[in-house]
Amino acid sequence: MVLDTVPVRRARKTERVWLSEAMGRVLGEDVLADRDMPPMARSLRDGFAVRGADLPGVLRIKGEVKAGEMPTRAVGGGEAIRIMTGAVIPEGADAVLMKEHVSVDVTVEGDVLRVERAAQAREWISEAGSMAKEGEAVARLGRVVDSSVVAMCASVGRSQVEVFERPVVRILSTGDEVLDIARKPNATQVRNSNAWALAADVRQFGGTAEILPVAPDEEKATRELIEYGLAADLLLISGGVSAGDYDFVEVALANLGAEFYFDRVLIQPGQPTVFGKAKGTYFFGLPGNPLSTWVTFRVFAQAALERLAGMDTDKPFAESAPMAKAYRHKAGLTRFLPGLRDATGAVEILAWQGSGDIPALVRANAIVMVDADREAWEVGDRIGVLPK
């Protein structure tokens, strides 16, 4: 639903960053090979450059070629040249005999190489341009920069790359009981952990986070803060979306002319989640219990954020893992529960005290997705798992 609604946004501006700062950013350009890769045919192994037509046969070893130097002579008929991994294939040679095979069917005595087998065509040769051709896109626009992309950019000499500017995500917490973390709560108050967790997730998944002042449980103030929050690329609201008498978020959004794509989802925690658009900006209203907020960000808002950041989100949502312990639940809702995966990959669902239990979330190293239409799992049965 979120992916069908939010288009990948490519119209946004790009900025140039140092390669060392590019990790996790989204490429705003195609990165091109500045030359053929490899630029010349190279040896894939340490061994001997030979001519296939001479084999099997007795060859005379005429010199060597190391990585980083140009061969100074060609391989003539009945000749071989010692060659190192990565070195340019000398003219005349059309195969490399790998050193590790020497002594099986290839023997060396002084400068005489005795070969009792034929060579395969182009054996152990990496052809010029076989990995990429000059001018070819080797990492594409929309690709998230990971360390393989960093290696690619470095390899084509790009110390700076164009990346999309991060979308600005405003974060609005609601609730009279919600207190800034610098203040000391009394027994009826909670510290505003959601804003901090959401800001951390926003940064991790490609956005710039701006935390707004907490909205009191009152329509007008909530509406004013929401209106300010909508002047961003995405607005995340925590709390105030349940059916309580003091939940004003939906009313305030409706008074701002919001269009709602959904205002309830069949998951637990997180049923009252709201998703829509107002004043041209997408928003999510996430239920305020810390695990509800955390889970609904992962399940719904993360994909929208990644799209707004220009990413191609084509990764699987969940993987599957065997259960380490049997489990039962009441069917009807898809549950997202704190889980612990062991070194074999098997997962167990942790005991937790409901959706306020941040300590259980900290103990977890995975989120288990418990299907709505199944009641029981035995040890070894497979179940959905999201990375934490």
> Which residues contribute to the site for Mg ion (CB under 5 A)?
175, 239-240
User: By CB under 6 A, is residue 238 in contact with ligand AMP?
Assistant: yes
Query: Residues 173, 238: contact at Cβ < 8 Å?
Result: yes
User: By CB under 6 A, is residue 287 in contact with ligand AMP?
Assistant: yes
User: By CB under 6 A, is residue 194 in contact with ligand AMP?
Assistant: yes
CA dihedral 174→333→3→212, nearest 10 degrees, is 10
Shortest distance in whole angstroms from residue 239 CB to Mg ion:
4
CB closer to ligand AMP out of 238 and 313: 238
Shortest distance in whole angstroms from residue 249 CB to ligand AMP:
8
Q: Which residue is nearest to ligand AMP (CB)?
A: 288
Q: Judged by CB under 6 A, which stretch of 2-10, 125-133, 203-211, 237-245 contacts ligand AMP? A: 237-245
Distances in Å between the alpha carbon of 6 and those of 28, 295, 300, 305, 311? Answer: 19, 19, 11, 9, 12
Cα–Cα distance for residue pair 111/109, rounded to 1 Å: 6
- Cβ-proximal residues to 306 (8 Å cutoff; 6+ apart), any chain: 205, 206, 313
Cα–Cα distance for residue pair 49/94, rounded to 1 Å: 7
Cα–Cα distance for residue pair 44/36, rounded to 1 Å: 16
User: By CB under 6 A, is residue 28 in contact with ligand AMP?
Assistant: no
Residue with the two structure tokens 């928003």: 283
CB closer to Mg ion out of 80 and 253: 253
CB closer to ligand AMP out of 264 and 382: 264
Binding partner at 339 among Mg ion, ligand AMP, none, C-beta below 5 to 8 Å by kind: none
Q: How many residues bind ligand AMP (CB under 6 A)?
A: 17
Shortest distance in whole angstroms from residue 174 CB to ligand AMP:
6
Which residues, listed in sequence order, are joined to residue 113 by a DSSP beta bridge?
59, 108
User: By CB under 6 A, is residue 289 in contact with ligand AMP?
Assistant: yes
User: By CB under 6 A, is residue 273 in contact with ligand AMP?
Assistant: no
CB closer to ligand AMP out of 26 and 211: 211
Residues 151-190 binding ligand AMP (CB under 6 A) are 173, 175, 178, 190
Segment holding 234, helix H or strand E: strand 234-238
Peptide bond into 38 cis (omega under 30): yes
Q: Which residue is nearest to Mg ion (CB)?
A: 175
CB closer to ligand AMP out of 3 and 212: 212
Shortest distance in whole angstroms from residue 323 CB to Mg ion:
35
- Cβ-proximal residues to 287 (8 Å cutoff; 6+ apart), any chain: 238, 239, 241, 242, 269, 270, 271, 272, 273, 293, 296, 355
CB closer to ligand AMP out of 206 and 239: 239
Three-class HEC string of 109-169: ECCEEEECCCCCCCCCEECCCCCECCCCEEECCCCECCHHHHHHHHHCCCCEEEEECCCEE
Shortest distance in whole angstroms from residue 186 CB to Mg ion:
17
Cα–Cα distance for residue pair 22/46, rounded to 1 Å: 35
Residue with the two structure tokens 């900290």: 362
CB closer to ligand AMP out of 84 and 190: 190
User: By CB under 6 A, is residue 240 in contact with ligand AMP?
Assistant: yes
CB closer to ligand AMP out of 7 and 213: 213
Which residues, listed in sequence order, are joined to residue 16 by a DSSP beta bridge?
162
The one among 239, 269, 270, 285 contacting ligand AMP by CB under 6 A: 239
Indicate if the alpha-carbon torsion angle 219, 222, 228, 231 is positive or negative: negative
CB closer to ligand AMP out of 149 and 215: 215
Shortest distance in whole angstroms from residue 302 CB to ligand AMP:
18
Binding partner at 113 among Mg ion, ligand AMP, none, C-beta below 5 to 8 Å by kind: none
Report which of 44, 56, 50 is spatially closest to residue 79, judged by C-alpha positions: 50
User: By CB under 6 A, is residue 242 in contact with ligand AMP?
Assistant: yes
Shortest distance in whole angstroms from residue 240 CB to Mg ion:
5
| Site residues for ligand AMP per CB under 6 A | 173, 175, 178, 190, 192-195, 238-240, 242, 244, 287-290
